[in-house]
Amino acid sequence: MNALAAAAVKSGVLLFLLLTACAYMTLLERRLLAKFQIRYGPNRVGPFGLLQPLADGIKLIFKEDFAPARVDLVVYWLAPAISMVTALFVYAVIPFGPQLYLANVDVGILIVLAASSVGVYGVILGGWSSNNKYSLLGSLRSSAQLISYELALSFAVISVVLTAGSLSLVEIVNAQARVWFVVLQPVAFVSFLIAAVAETNRAPFDLPEAEQELIAGYQTEYGGFKFAMFYIGEYVAIVTMSALVTTLFWGGWHGPFLPGVVWFALKMFAFIFFFVWIRATLPRVRHDQLMAFGWKVLVPLGLLNVVITAIIVVLLQ
């Protein structure tokens, strides 16, 4: 019973920290984009604009709730909840420090991949249930994109698993105590980073939400709190991918002088900054270019890297 209570307290604290981080990541992104574009960002609500996320959250909660005609109400409500819950579920197995994790399971990385794969159902169901052609096209784009780049991401993860000899995220971090896997697996790292940008539907791969073509894609018919759940799911996914890159390739909590959790947070922040940076820098690609790059470049490259890694591991043993 005590273990269950401790797990519940840890889960509550982690959920609060994640939602707070997600809220302030929106502020960080808006301020950084303003700096990149030589303009002012949000700076009116609270000192230095620090209460802007709170104002945005209150606005979304109290906005008028609506539903288009002839929608499947159950699926229409369920879709954003799936996107948000699956994005948060991954953190059950991500280690933030030597003892800072909810669960250390032997197949932790499989849980991460399974949860991220289920998240696409929220997008598909949201587009289908909205009774809108633009929403449906956006959800179909998103599903094709996620399936394509999930393969490249999985190949990168397999290379790391072969190198570490374990599916546990804690053991993968422990295996990087001397040499980080970004040194041993540079091809897998680059493939994972590109696939992570595509998985989160971020620019330059934000085709499912291309405003000029699809209004807002699968989110077109959503507003108020339902839109906020999609919004939270997207930004939590960015934090998740940053945490996974840190865990799989950049040594997790390992680092000199500072506490492990501080190193983990600094590395995560660096990759979150990277997500914002490429959004401000790179133009959106065409959908055929996106799919061709995934299937003709990243998937063959990832498969070749897995084969070479397996051969090297066998020879070393």
What would the pLDDT profile of 279-313 be if each residue is shown by its tens digit? 888 888 888 888 899 999 999 999 999 999 999 99
Neighbours of 71 (CB within 10 A): 16
CA atoms of 53 and 20, how far apart (whole Å): 9
Determine, yes or no, domain membership for 28.
no
Determine, yes or no, domain membership for 5.
no
pLDDT of 163 above 90: yes
The values of phi and psi at residue 97, to 5°, are: -165, 180
DSSP state of 47: G
Instruction: Tokens for 83, please give them.
Output: 């996107």
- Position 230: which residue type? F
Determine, yes or no, domain membership for 145.
yes
CA atoms of 160 and 182, how far apart (whole Å): 10
The predicted-structure confidence for 177-205, as pLDDT tens digits, reads as follows: 889 999 999 999 999 999 999 888 887 88
- E strands, the chain, where? none
Determine, yes or no, domain membership for 42.
no
pLDDT at res. 263: 92
Closest Cα partner for 170 from 102, 226, 223?
102
- 128 and 136 Cβ atoms separated by less than 8 Å: yes
CA atoms of 271 and 286, how far apart (whole Å): 25
Determine, yes or no, domain membership for 21.
no
Sign of the alpha-carbon torsion through 124, 127, 130, 133:
negative
pLDDT at res. 161: 94
The predicted-structure confidence for 95-139, as pLDDT tens digits, reads as follows: 888 878 887 888 888 888 888 888 788 888 888 888 787 788 878
Sign of the alpha-carbon torsion through 128, 149, 22, 87:
positive
pLDDT of 74 above 90: no
DSSP state of 97: S
CA atoms of 260 and 100, how far apart (whole Å): 10
pLDDT of 1 above 60: no
Closest Cα partner for 238 from 209, 266, 198?
198
pLDDT band with cut points at 50, 70 and 90 for residue 255? confident
Determine, yes or no, domain membership for 51.
no
Determine, yes or no, domain membership for 294.
yes
Instruction: Tokens for 214, please give them.
Output: 């699809």
Determine, yes or no, domain membership for 105.
yes
Q: What is the number of residues in the chain?
A: 317
pLDDT at res. 304: 96
Total domains in the fold of the chain? 1
Instruction: Please indicate, yes or no, whether the overall pTM of this predicted structure exceeds 0.75.
Output: yes
By residue range, what is the domain housing residue 177? 66-316
CA atoms of 181 and 55, how far apart (whole Å): 41
Instruction: Tokens for 181, please give them.
Output: 């896997």
